[in-house]
Amino acid sequence: MKKLLLLTLIAMTTVSCEEKNPLLKEWDTPFGVPPFEEIKTEHYMPALKKAIAVQEKEIDQIVNCKEEPTFENTIAALDRSGRLLGKVMMVFGNNESIASTEEIRRLSTEMSPIVSNHSSNIMLNEKLFARIKAVYDKREELGLEPDQMRLTCETYKSFERNGSNLDAEGKAALREVNTKIDSLQTLFSQNLLNETAAWTLLIDNEEDLEGLSEDFIADAAARAAAAGSEGKWLVGLDNPSVMPFLQSSANRELRVKVLDAYSNRCNNNNECDNKDIVSEIIALKLKKAQIMGYETYADYALERKMAGNAESVYKLLDEVWQPSLAAARRELADIKQMAKEDGITTILPADWRYYAEKARQAKYSFDESAVMEYLQYDNVRDGIFYVANKLFGVTFTKLNDFPLPHPEAEAYECGLPSGATRGILYIDMFARPGQKSGGAWCTSYREHEVDAEGRNVPAVMSIVGNFTRPSENKPSLLTVDETETFFHEFGHAIAGLLSDVRYESLGNFVRDFVELPSQLNEHWAFEPEVLNVYAKHYITGEVIPMELVDKIKECKNYGVGFAETELVAAMYLDMDMYSMKEIPEHFDVLAYEAKCMESRGLIPEILPRYRVPYFLHIFSHGYDVGYYSYLWANVFECDAYEAFKETGDIFNPEVAKAYREQILARVNEDDAKVLYTNFRGFMPTAEPFLKSRGLK
């Protein structure tokens, strides 16, 4: 009796805890967004365990179904499973990126192997795979609709590529490798976040501020005051701080000091050093590929991407590398001439941005600070909304008193011409060093989905950045590059909002096609028609003068040599490391990096955009053997924009409709090459891209 009473109390307590856990409840918030203010750190682990248990039950129901395997009771049922787990992990993962704490990072380390093991349990479930294979084998006889056929094939191939056809020994080895990789990738990311936040340069001599803009100095003063050093100036390693400093600071000694700290992050033989972690990740991924029967990890990773194989990737990189390097050498000649006036004869990497900006100003009389006065953050955002409205007829309405993932975020309702809600967009674009990951990205809290009753469920998208925040006396003013970044990330968001697939597993572009919507959206940023709408002086409201617009266009490609060279150098690094057939004992990743760059002829004045110890994209963010995707997408977006330009109307409604219906709405309902050909009529070459950059 006592035992029964105890078990009853335990069950009641468990139910009570679950009812109080906001991650496990049905969200009665507007549009079903997460109830962010209710969610505490202690809620995540119990929610994770419960969500895994729920999906395990869902999988058991599929596996133990007495009926013959069909698309609906196996493939579609699997696609519908794990909704609760996805909900929990979306909230946790996004919170980790925008509001990281030591407790969150510790929890991430604990959760990673649990999630990895659960994923392996599904992918290596023999009975589940047997049912999937049964449907796959008779797929031609089932009268499936095209998206159902695609989902069936993609599900089977996904299981196959994740070890379902391996013997027991192979499955055990693969499970162990996957768990180790996931844990190491989490540690890599946390080390970079900690190392980036830990280093600062405190300036206490006003003379050391020479060359820096008033806005930068004000931000540096605010950072110093927040750190308890009132009356001084603080420079950090986050991009809104480090890049303007390298471009504008007249103090060469400090530029060298800052770039040295930036380029040696996680390479300081301390607790945040990533070199051994990188070496182990590369070795583990090679082992994974070999377990799966591939010679290299690149072979394994590229098989299901648009490029298909390493040869196609290297062909594109080589096609862009030589003209980019030649352009960089021409830019170097200008830089040397400018530096010579300061008595400098040997150019260091820390000199490049500073003297390149001086050379650009000398050649084109271009003053970016003057342009920035017309690029007020709020206006740029509204200009982005204007473009989306002109292209797709959608509107964005700000939502007040609405649940927010962070107090600094904004929420907007995306509406259709019919008045229906298409989705919710969060925007969180200002830097929070030490809390927020670096760079800019687009993510989601809920992808577009179709529920069990066949109703569309609005997507909940979020774009995140690290722009300089407004000061007491001035709003946030964006650089040309930041403006393009804003348009870029919104391009991802609008793709998520306009996705119209009915099966969640088909709701993501393949990796080397995913950057098409974002990079295409950049094209509208500096079109005169668009600038006339949003580029207004932050004080006078005057529309940007045409002479400034002409200056932007005139010098648009100045510096493309540096930009493409540092970018492609990082792409070579990614491809070369993951194309290795064996990993030497005591693998020295920095020596390998140096050899890779030397063999390609990278000039010593330029560093790769990402050095190995802080190459987050390929060691934590899923772009392994995929960083080339940005360049791959460049080829497609330049050609796609030509489809608009050829009509003489950059907002041509017929082209916009075809782009939306054939690409954005369908996402992964067909092979990416088929989707693009349906839109354009042919596959593009690199020619339009090279011409657009002035490299041809």
The secondary structure of 142-170 as a DSSP string is TT--HHHHHHHHHHHHHHHHTTTTS-HHH
pLDDT at residue 577, rounded to an integer:
97
* Distance between CA atoms of residues 416 and 114, nearest Å: 40
Q: Which pair of tokens denotes residue 624?
A: 């392994």
Mean pLDDT, the chain, whole residue set: 93
What is the model's pLDDT at position 248? 95
Q: What is the pLDDT of residue 158?
A: 96
Q: Tally helices (H) and strands (E) across the chain.
A: 28, 9
pLDDT tens digits, 126-152:
999 999 999 999 999 999 999 999 999
Half-sphere exposure for 183 (CA within 13 Å, toward CB): 13
The structure tokens 């069909």 sit at 70
User: What is the pLDDT confidence band of residue 536, given thresholds at 50, 70 and 90?
Assistant: very high
* Residue 449 tokens, joined: 């989905």
Residue 337: strand, helix, or coil: helix
Longest dimension (CA), the chain: 92
Q: Of all helices (H) and strands (E), which one includes residue 672?
A: helix 672-680
Nearest residue to 640 via CA among 531, 551, 471, 519: 519
| Integer Cα distance of 212 and 234 in angstroms | 13
CA-nearest of 93, 79, 43, 40 to 444 is 93
Superfamily of structural domain 22-123+125-165: Endopeptidase. Chain P; domain 1 (1.20.1050.40)
Can you say whether residue 441 is alpha, beta or left, with left for phi > 0 and alpha for psi between -120 and 50 degrees?
A: beta
Find the mean pLDDT for residues 347-355.
Answer: 97
Give the residue-averaged pLDDT of 205-231.
94
Distance CA 161, CA 119 (A): 13
Q: Which residue in 96, 489, 605, 637 is the catalytic one?
A: 489
Q: How many CB atoms lie within 10 A of CB 360?
A: 19
3-class SS string, 119-140: HHHHHCCHHHHHHHHHHHHCHH
- Sign of the Cα pseudo-torsion (536, 538, 540, 546, in order): negative
Does residue 19 carry a pLDDT above 80?
no
d(CA 184, CA 112): 9
What is the CATH architecture assignment of 372-546?
Orthogonal Bundle (1.10)
Kindly report, as residue ranges, where domains of CATH 1.10.1370.10 are found in the chain: 275-364+559-674
Q: How confident is the model at residue 18 (pLDDT cuts 50, 70, 90)?
A: low
Q: Which segments of 331-405 are extended strands (E)? A: 395-398
What amino acid occupies position 387? V
Q: How far is 118 from 546, CA to CA, in rounded Å?
A: 58
What digits encode the pLDDT tens for the residues 587-637? 999 999 999 999 999 999 999 999 999 999 999 888 999 999 999 999 999
pLDDT at residue 8 greater than cutoff 70: no
Where is 91: in which H helix or E strand?
A: helix 83-98
- Whether 79 contacts 135, CB under 8 Å: no
**Contacting residues for 632 by C-beta, under 8 A, at least 6 apart:** 306, 307, 313, 316, 512, 513, 515
Spatial contact of 319 and 634, defined as CB atoms under 8 Å apart: no
- In the chain, list all ranges with CATH 1.10.1370.40: 372-546
Query: Which superfamily, per CATH, for 275-364+559-674?
Result: Neurolysin, domain 3 (1.10.1370.10)
List the one residue out of 187, 241, 310, 203 whose CA is nearest residue 626: 310
Is residue 81 within 8 Å of 51, Cβ to Cβ?
A: no
- Report the pLDDT value the prediction gives residue 621, as an integer from 0 to 100: 83
User: Would you give the DSSP letter of residue 193?
Assistant: H
Contact 486, 120 (CB under 8 A): no
- Give the pLDDT confidence score for residue 291 in this predicted structure: 97
**For 327-340, what is the mean pLDDT?**
96
pLDDT tens-digit map of 20-47: 899 999 999 999 999 999 999 999 999 9
What is the average pLDDT across 378-397? 98
Per-residue H/E/C for 259-321: HHHHHCCCCCCCCCCCHHHHHHHHHHHHHHHHHCCCCCHHHHHHCCCCCCCHHHHHHHHHHHH
d(CA 357, CA 370): 14
Distance, CA of 411 to chain centre: 20
Does position 203 have pLDDT exceeding 70, yes or no?
yes
Residues of the chain with pLDDT > 90, as a percent, come to 87
Is the distance from CB of 44 to CB of 92 less than 8 angstroms?
A: yes
Q: Do the strands 421-430 and 459-467 form a parallel or antiparallel pair, or are they unpaired? A: parallel
Cα–Cα distances in angstroms (integers) from residue 497 to residues 4, 317, 397, in the given order:
51, 32, 14
569: tokens are 């150098």
What would the DSSP string read from start to end of 465-529? Answer: EEEPPP-SSS--B--HHHHHHHHHHHHHHHHHHH---SSGGG-S--TTTTTHHHHHHGGGTT-HH
The SS3 of residue 323 is helix
pLDDT, mean of residues 287-305: 96
Counting other chains too, the contacts that 343-347 makes at CB distance below 8 Å and 24 or more residues apart are: 344/252, 347/605
What SS3 class is residue 418? coil
Q: How far is CA 225 from CA 242, 265, 407, in A?
A: 18, 25, 21
Asked if the model's pLDDT at residue 522 lies above 80, the reply is: yes
Tokens of 360: 């650009």
pLDDT band with cut points at 50, 70 and 90 for residue 5 = very low
Share of the chain above pLDDT 70, in %: 97
Query: How far is the first Cα of the chain from the last one, in angstroms, to the nearest whole number?
Result: 85
Residue 10 has pLDDT above 80, yes or no: no
Domain with CATH 1.20.1050.40 in the chain: 22-123+125-165
Q: Give the contacts of 597 (CB within 8 A, at least 6 positions apart).
A: 569, 572, 573, 608
Separation of alpha carbons 118 and 403, rounded Å: 31
Per residue in 537-587, pLDDT tens? 999 999 999 989 888 888 888 999 999 999 999 999 999 999 999 999 889
Over residues 438-473, the pLDDT tens digits come to 889 999 999 988 777 778 888 999 999 999 889 888
Query: What is the pLDDT at residue 533?
Result: 95
Cα(302)–Cα(568) distance, rounded to whole angstroms?
18
| SS3 assignment, position 536 | strand
**pLDDT category of residue 289 using cuts at 50, 70 and 90:** very high
- DSSP, collapsed to helix, strand or coil, labels residue 623 as coil
Which amino acid, 465?
A: G
Of the listed ranges 267-271, 448-452, 473-477, 671-675, the one predicted with least confidence? 448-452
What confidence category does residue 369 fall into, taking pLDDT thresholds of 50, 70 and 90?
A: confident
The residues, ordered by sequence, that sit 6+ positions from 291 with a Cβ below 8 Å of its Cβ are 163, 166, 170, 173, 174, 177
Tokens standing for residue 177:
């490798």
Check whether 16 has a pLDDT greater than 80. no
d(CA 270, CA 371): 42
CA separation for the pair 642, 652 (Å, rounded): 11
Long-range CB contacts for residues 165-173, cutoff 8 Å, separation at least 24: 166/124, 166/291, 166/292, 170/291, 171/124, 173/287, 173/291
DSSP 398: E
Based on the residue annotation, tell me whether 206 is a catalytic residue of this protein.
no
Q: Which residue has the higher pLDDT, 451 or 535?
A: 535
Bridge partners of 414, per DSSP, are 396, 423
- Is residue 12 predicted with pLDDT exceeding 50? no
Calculate mean pLDDT across residues 194-199. 94
